[in-house]
Structure 1
């Protein structure tokens, strides 16, 4: 049994997925296995040679990758729940299909969640096209944890909710450069939520119901990750950790209609 089940939902992004999978090959922590849930319309990833080449390397590393065709599409929350139901490891990492990771990311996330004993730890995504776009006003909510991570309840309209601005553009990059955070000297900090690269304690995620609220949402909806993290934070706590080694490929979203937001429809 690996320590981490690494779960990747994907939809019509074979090139981006190949990049994401490639970044897993050089992880210093190889104690994981990869499961991809593919909802691509007219494409079979088993016929994409670049993806198959990477999967063979991962298999040679002992990470037991698999791609599962999962149709029909019932929304991203249902796709995440499907992936969660495949997992058996004590920790699950939900990784978007357009993220490039530094080699130390999985090790840092695993070490952090095991030390803190919280519900989730996230590495915020950075868009390096914004590396010269410094936004000091959006850095204001940055608050390192003092002591171990504890449960929190966040409410919209409060200063704590504004922590989401920390993850805009390249803000994580500028924060870690300002304070000198490194993989050897990391910093856990308060978050509203983290997108794209989040490691959960699987038992704690299941205890709040996972993503089984998917049937209460319309097909085109978003914010399912925000709602889940809010529920986990309420009972078990959650945090971000810097430095981040998670880079966004800065592709257009595959969820075209983002007007229906799960936290606006369902209670924490």
Structure 2
């Protein structure tokens, strides 16, 4: 019997940028193993000194992923040119119809990847995301941050969202443990998910590869620079306007709540990409 017998092959490349986080990386990889699916995994590691994926813990999980039929591709690129460059490099490696950008501090529940693939195919949009919750905040219920919550009925249609618009306030939906509390408000059908309207989703986003490339991907990385941030906000707003997008509940993604590796953020991707495009 094959070790991966019964595991479904999904049309997904999982793109995982990492730097200096061997223990969180191992936990994130374990969440991918819990998906019980075959996919292609591409890791871009910018850890100085030696790759984080060579740590005992991460390497052990990678061995099991390979045993289960997951194609694993590892890149050690210690020169840091910014997170947008990391994402751009990963997109250049992509071959599948869909790409999941998964941060190295996110733990996926079993079945999360399958639900995302089902949703993006049914909704017909450019991206779907599962907003990671911070479970240390699970007792911190914030109704005032949930006021912008609105479900999609049918397809997820294109929307134009900019700062200052009421729809921009949807960013608050993903603070703290709001994703957990929002899931408690909805009736989830047998398919296992409902879709809601977003401005953007961080850390766990499944894109249609064609849609991501159609808006230029992260080709602006040189302008954003080493300490730039907001690259995903900019890209998702552009995709949202042309192809639509959605968040999914219940979210099967959880923050590990470890310290950020991007403390300095001196360039805003929204201003650089979205406002510049609007000005043309």
TM-score by length of 2: 0.92
Aligned partner of 2:71 in structure 1 is 64
Contact in 2 for aligned 1:108/1:183 (Cα 8 Å): no
Deviation at 1:86, TM superposition (A): 0.6
* 1:96-135 pair list within 5 angstroms: 96-135=103-142
Aligned partner of 1:82 in structure 2 is 89
Deviations 1:148-169 (A, max 9, x none): 1111110101110000000000
* 1:83-232 pair list within 5 angstroms: 83-181=90-188, 184-232=191-239
Aligned partner of 1:25 in structure 2 is 33
Q: 1:196 to 1:16 in 2, by over 3 A?
A: same
Deviations 1:179-213 (A, max 9, x none): 24367342101101000100000011111111011
Deviations 1:81-116 (A, max 9, x none): 000111100000000000011001001000000111
Provide the rounded CA distance (Å) in 2 between the counterparts of 1:154 and 1:202: 21
User: Over aligned residues, Cα RMSD in angstroms?
Assistant: 1.4
Aligned partner of 1:12 in structure 2 is 20
Deviation at 1:220, TM superposition (A): 0.3
3-state SS of paired residue (2:154): coil
* 1:15-54 pair list within 5 angstroms: 15-28=23-36, 30-45=37-52, 47-54=54-61
**Deviation larger for 179-188 or 230-239:** 179-188
**Deviation larger for 66-75 or 136-145:** 66-75
Aligned partner of 2:6 in structure 1 is none
The unaligned stretches of length 5 or more in structure 1 are: none
Aligned partner of 1:252 in structure 2 is 259
Contact in 2 for aligned 1:182/1:242 (Cα 8 Å): no
Q: How many aligned residue pairs are there?
A: 267
The unaligned stretches of length 5 or more in structure 2 are: 1-8
Contact in 2 for aligned 1:189/1:239 (Cα 8 Å): yes
TM-score by length of 1: 0.96
